[in-house]
Amino acid sequence: MAIIKQFDKRSGITYVYDSKSFYDKEKKCSRAKRTLIGKIDPDTGEIVPTDGRNKGARSKPKTLSPDLDLAKRVQELEDENRQLSLQIAALKKELDRLRRPSRK
Full residue range of the structural domain in which residue 28 is found: 2-51+66-99
Q: How far apart are CA 40 and CA 99, in angstroms?
A: 48
Per the CB < 8 A criterion, the answer to whether 36 and 20 are in contact is no
Residue 71 confidence (pLDDT) = 79
Q: How many domains does the chain have?
A: 1
Instruction: List CB contacts of 34: < 8 A, sequence separation 6 or more.
Output: 4, 17, 18, 19, 20
Share of residues in the chain with pLDDT > 70 (%): 81
| Residue 82, in any domain of the structure | yes
| Residue 75, in any domain of the structure | yes
| Residue 60, in any domain of the structure | no
* 47-71 pLDDT, tens digit each: 888 876 666 555 555 555 555 677 7
| Residue 89, in any domain of the structure | yes
Q: Which residues pair with 19 in a beta bridge?
A: 2, 34
Residue 85 confidence (pLDDT) = 93
| Residue 58, in any domain of the structure | no
